[in-house]
Structure 1
Amino acid sequence: MYNVKRILSIVCTLLLTTSMHTGQADSEGYKIKTVVIDAGHGGHDPGCLGSNSKEKHVALGIALKVGKFIEQNHPDVKVIYTRKTDVFVELHERANIANKANADVFICIHANAAAAGAYGTETFVMGLHKTEANLSVAKRENSAILLEDDYRSKYDGYDPNSVEANIIFTLHQNAYMQQSLLLAQKVQENFVDYAGRYNRGVKQAGLLVLYKTAMPAVLIEAGFLTNKTEEKYLTSNKGQTQLATAIYKAFNEYKVDMESGYDGSKSIVSSGSESGETKEVAQNTPVKTEPKKSEPVKPSPPKIVEKKTVVKKSPVDKPKTEVPKPKATPVKKTVYYTVQIGAVRESNTAGQQKLSKIENVIENHGSDGYIRYSVGRFSTVSDASNQKRKLISSGFKDAYVTAYNNNDRISLKEAALLMK
């Protein structure tokens, strides 16, 4: 049972650890040195089930790829895995691994389950579950402790229905909230921009694995195994690679922000739908992390169709005099595809020297404060993809195809529709 002394002691601990971490991030020369990648479930805990898949396998596949990408591109960052094989790791031990390593970031990877029509990705940070949908996610993920021996003593008599327990959760949601939200937002943005997934939003829930961590932490639900289309994507090597790459890109952007002194205080996020439904997406539409349309699947390369102006004549029943209406002038659309090779908050000499070796570099200053560098303007995804392959072979491993309309970045799906 929680008591007043217990709550006060945790308050003091939170204030101490929070000030230590934020002070470290604000100090000159701060570097992210250690990241912990946590693949959910494992061993005799399968997690949620698809028609022919288990969450524990999907989570591990994505987690290992994320760690590999970080190791390859940031050799100065130590990557620690809570598990690298199909073994059961208790929730408190996952957090202990991160805490003992004095990790700078904790990334927990899961797959989702709900009604068959639900789809998309969502990323959670520690906090109060404001909706029934968020609560159901927390209950499902926290239920893993029931498989542990003597779980009540390990989690201080944790009871999700306890008023005191919820007070503790309220306190914890403020510990590393800004940094956690910043990372979560970037994960969702990259799921949309790179992997073409549907964005269900950044949300809060009382998740035990995050509650025990003493650093910025997120829990990623990479898609629904209960949706046959997403299950096929989540269990494929292509799908897992795309999702892992999106998570890596988010980590990379977060690393740049934190090491430059930006703490995410201006992040705009949502806590998800207030309706509390986890059913069809039409009944649970979250607030997006960015005011742009997100789609679940990347489109096929669009065909360029020659447009012809057709003037429709109004039917005439009998001769009469009409005042001719002026023809509407079509709005000119300047849609093009390009290959993004990097994004920074501030330009630097080393980066400029590397870019100077490439022709047709485009510099775009986004409203989010990032300077994005891309190469070429193409009328088809196919041409842009060919350029992407060349850039990857030249050393730009993170290159990917994106689209713009009148210098505003849009999704590939939106570009395909506008090009029709």
Structure 2
Amino acid sequence: MIILQMHKFNILLKKLFYVIFFITFLSTSSTIVFAQKNYTIVLDAGHGGKDPGNLGRKGSGYKEKNIALNVALLVGKELQKQKDIKVIFTRNKDVFIDLWKRGDIANTAKADLFVSIHCDSHTSNAYGAGTFVLGLRGNKKNLEIAKRENAVILLEDNYKEKYAGFDPNSAESVIGLSLLQEENLDKSLEIASIIQKNFTSKLKRLDRKVKQDNFQVLRETIMPSVLVELGFLTNKKEGRFLNSSSGQKQMAKSIAEAIESYVDHLKLNTVTASVNEIKTDVTSKNDIEFKVQIASGRNLISTKSYNFKGLREVQRVEVGNYYKYYYGITSQYKEVLKSLKTAKQKGYTSAFVVAFKNGEKISVKEANKME
């Protein structure tokens, strides 16, 4: 009996040793660990309540608000099957929600993505699906769509105070809206392209392309955001398709699959930084180094070259709740100026040179004296 107990004790000791060794190995050897997080997706069904949206052809009985809600709920149902995706609806029933509130819901939730769902209309027999991100390129047709979707502002209480100086019927006001920050715009274009590809390649919908426009609902958000126009309720065939249970399920599945693909890409490019990764690799004899700061923000982005327009050996440093991204680390000021020129040619027009001594930031002028 004593021998059996000793044998069991030895086995336990061995297991404990391997556990301690494994933990120690991970803590000392690992440099990049894939982040485990949930991704919050806010789904916004356009219009609602006293705002029916567009009503399609005369006598059709279609209501944009109902179709948008049905599709949004179906998209959410698909996404909720994924354990790492959290879905929030701006509305899950037929109620009126102010445009500013829709964005506020997403911002408060610190969402990773905002998707607003709508249906289009036109006096012609136009048809096809389109996806929009924030911005404006002066296209008159697109401007009319933006003005029509923004007109809901006039139904909101105290809209003059909430949107001071903004007239949804004024081209000048629409054009005057600012573009989304570059980082969010890139991501918005990415998800918009995936959605549009699914509509056209899988459902064979006419491709009305990814476009930029100043929709107020997108302007209110501070994360990657898109507005989807499922199709035209004013087109007899397309209106019938979008108003049908089958059509809504197909459109919803395409959007959900696009969001899942987008989230998968976020997972690949979202990692947890380690101490080893942010150490300085290049120093001079005086421990002076120059770098080009190309970006900063709250998003933790993999330093792969394809995330930085082809720039290689990008360094990421965590500073409080932000991350700073540097390029062209060198001990030579002449060399960092070449890197600055390269970064600006790649599109990082606001890039600038910074200097460090023994890891502490100093002025570039002071660093030049020490070089």
Band of TM-score, shorter chain: 0.5 to 0.7
1:82 is aligned with what amino acid? T
Listed as ranges, the matches of 1:324-339 within 5 Å are none
Listed as ranges, the matches of 1:95-134 within 5 Å are 95-134=103-142
Task: Tell me the CA shift for residue 130 of structure 1.
Answer: 2.3
Q: Quick check: 1:98–1:213 contact (8 Å CA) kept in 2?
A: yes
Q: Quick check: 1:128–1:173 contact (8 Å CA) kept in 2?
A: no
Map of 1:71 onto structure 2: 80
Q: Quick check: 2:188–2:225 contact (8 Å CA) kept in 1?
A: yes
* Percent identity of equivalent pairs: 45
Listed as ranges, the matches of 1:264-413 within 5 Å are none
Query: Structure 2 vs 1, CA of residues 266 and 45 (structure 1 numbering), >3 Å: closer, same or farther?
Result: farther
Query: Structure 2 vs 1, CA of residues 60 and 164 (structure 1 numbering), >3 Å: closer, same or farther?
Result: closer
Answer yes or no: is 1:53 the counterpart of 2:62: yes
Map of 2:197 onto structure 1: 189
Map of 2:351 onto structure 1: none
Map of 2:43 onto structure 1: 37
Task: Tell me the CA shift for residue 169 of structure 1.
Answer: 1.9
Q: Let me know the Cα RMSD of the aligned residues.
A: 2.3
How far apart in 2 are the matches of 1:130 and 1:190?
Answer: 27
* SS in structure 2 of the partner of residue 176 of structure 1: helix
Task: Tell me the CA shift for residue 69 of structure 1.
Answer: 0.1
More strand by share: 2
Task: Tell me the CA shift for residue 164 of structure 1.
Answer: 7.5
Answer yes or no: is 1:147 the counterpart of 2:116: no
Kindly provide the CA deviation profile for residues 32-90 of structure 1, in whole angstroms up to 9, marking residues without a partner as x: 52110000000010001112201001100100000000002x12211100111110000
Q: Which runs of 5+ in 1 are unaligned?
A: 1-25, 268-420
How far apart in 2 are the matches of 1:163 and 1:47?
Answer: 23
Q: Quick check: 2:174–2:214 contact (8 Å CA) kept in 1?
A: no
Task: Tell me the CA shift for residue 157 of structure 1.
Answer: 2.5
Query: Structure 2 vs 1, CA of residues 165 and 52 (structure 1 numbering), >3 Å: closer, same or farther?
Result: closer
Q: Which runs of 5+ in 2 are unaligned?
A: 1-31, 271-300, 310-371
Task: Tell me the CA shift for residue 149 of structure 1.
Answer: 1.3
Task: Give the number of the structure whose alpha-carbon radius of gyration is greater.
Answer: 2
**Which deviates further from its counterpart, 194-203 or 104-113?**
194-203
* SS in structure 2 of the partner of residue 85 of structure 1: coil
Query: Structure 2 vs 1, CA of residues 32 and 115 (structure 1 numbering), >3 Å: closer, same or farther?
Result: farther
How far apart in 1 are the matches of 2:114 and 2:246?
Answer: 24
How far apart in 2 are the matches of 1:165 and 1:175?
Answer: 22
How far apart in 1 are the matches of 2:167 and 2:34?
Answer: 42
TM-score by length of structure 2 reads 0.61
Task: Tell me the CA shift for residue 159 of structure 1.
Answer: 3.1
Task: Tell me the CA shift for residue 143 of structure 1.
Answer: 0.3
Map of 1:383 onto structure 2: none
Kindly provide the CA deviation profile for residues 321-353 of structure 1, in whole angstroms up to 9, marking residues without a partner as x: xxxxxxxxxxxxxxxxxxxxxxxxxxxxxxxxx
Q: Quick check: 2:37–2:84 contact (8 Å CA) kept in 1?
A: no
Map of 1:315 onto structure 2: none
Give 1:85's match in structure 2, choosing from 82, 90, 93.
93
Kindly provide the CA deviation profile for residues 78-127 of structure 1, in whole angstroms up to 9, marking residues without a partner as x: 11001111100000000000001111000100000013410000000000
Task: Tell me the CA shift for residue 195 of structure 1.
Answer: 1.7
TM-score by length of structure 1 reads 0.54
How far apart in 2 are the matches of 1:75 and 1:153?
Answer: 41
Q: Quick check: 2:177–2:214 contact (8 Å CA) kept in 1?
A: no
Map of 1:217 onto structure 2: 225
Give 1:159's match in structure 2, choosing from 158, 164, 167.
167
